[in-house]
Amino acid sequence: MANPASPTQRTAPAAAPHQGHCIALPQLLRLRAFARTLNIWQQPVAQHSMLTGQHSSRLRGRGLDFSEVRLYQPGDDVRYIDWRVSARRGITHSKLFQEEKQRHVLIVVDYSASLFFGTRVAFKSVVAAQVAALLAFAATQHHDRVSGLLFSGEQHTVFPYQPANHNLLMFLKKLSDTQQPVSKQPPNYAQLLPLFNQHSKRSGLIVIISDFHHLQPEHLATWRQLRQHHPILAISITDPFEQALPGTSVYRLRDDTQTCDINGGDPQSRAAYTQRFQQHQQRIHQLWQRANVRWLTLSTADHPTRFLQQHLGQHRC
């Protein structure tokens, strides 16, 4: 759980008692007031655990737009020599860049079937919607251009950037209106990752919010390719029930197709259950490290606003 907010920050509200399997649009809009202290472009504060360790990679900041070509001058970075122009004119020329005035942020939310689950304050899908709203408002308050992408299984809906943030409101409304998965199929990252690249501007930040249940090591090459063009922040959402079984009871889990009984009173069953979760989390974190992707892990037992203020707050360096 995050530390209490500093005196200069607005204090995050306590978790609302009516949150659970769904969240209304007005609740998402009220999060705007608590997004001012967030900076999604900065290096997240590292999470320390037996799985994650400490991470030192950085998200790139404001991008650069090409401005013009001029004659090479001593001290110019050789990486910016325009070899084609230099060859054509017979003398060395350098490219000049100016700081990009507005950055681009694509916020991707996974609404696959596994997100519609939770045993604490809210479903993982509700926490995902809250995180998406907070980060979207943080970006717009820094005058960034925000697009949204919602996917469920292999189906997706894109909300491209529009002036006055009209599509951002439509994106948040879609998050609040969707109270069950559109598709029962698991997400296909081999198809989704090129889609993320297609709908994000070059060098724009891509934020992906999911539980990454179906993320596999064979997706590494695709993530690396995406990371070559974009800084990426992955936010993984888990539930305490997924991490460890409470003891002494038999738990019946059911979806539309099957029912499964889990014996929480059996120490061996509980140990095997926890081990499977930890192994999967470790595989995910190793993939992020190898792909040079920044990540945070958020539980449904955490308060989303306070969690993000702790890890992405502007008072952090």
pLDDT tens series, the chain, 317 aa: 333 333 334 444 444 434 578 899 999 999 999 998 898 887 665 554 433 333 333 344 445 666 788 898 887 888 889 999 999 999 999 988 755 557 889 999 999 999 999 888 899 999 999 999 999 999 998 888 999 999 988 789 999 998 877 899 999 999 999 988 888 888 888 888 888 888 887 778 999 999 999 898 888 988 998 998 899 999 999 999 999 887 767 777 776 677 888 777 788 888 888 999 999 999 999 999 999 999 999 999 999 999 999 999 864 43
- Does 106 reside within a domain? yes
Q: Give me the domain span that covers residue 73.
A: 64-99
95, 213: one domain: no
- Structural domains in the chain (count): 2
- The residue from 75, 99, 123 where one domain ends is 99
Q: How many residues does the chain have?
A: 317
140 lies in some domain: yes
Are residues 216 and 205 located together in one domain of the fold?
yes
Residue 42 covered by a domain: yes
Residue 260's Cβ-count burial label (10 Å; 0-12, 13-18, 19+) is exposed
79 & 203 share domain: no
Domain membership flag for residue 255? yes
DSSP 62: S
Q: Are residues 68 and 51 in the same domain?
A: no
**C-alpha angle with apex 242: 239 to 247, nearest 5 degrees?**
115
Instruction: Indicate whether 78 and 178 sit together in one domain.
Output: no
Q: Which residues are CB-neighbours of 194 under 8 A, at least 6 positions away? A: 222
Q: Is residue 52 part of a domain?
A: yes
Whether the Cβ atoms of residue 70 and residue 95 lie closer than 8 Å to each other:
no
**Distance, CA of 182 to CA of 113 (rounded, Å):** 8
Q: Are 217 and 97 in contact (CB under 8 A)?
A: no
Q: Is residue 209 part of a domain?
A: yes
Domain-embedded: residue 1: no
In a domain? residue 196: yes
- Tell me which residue of 234, 139, 241, 154 sits closest to 191, measured CA to CA: 154
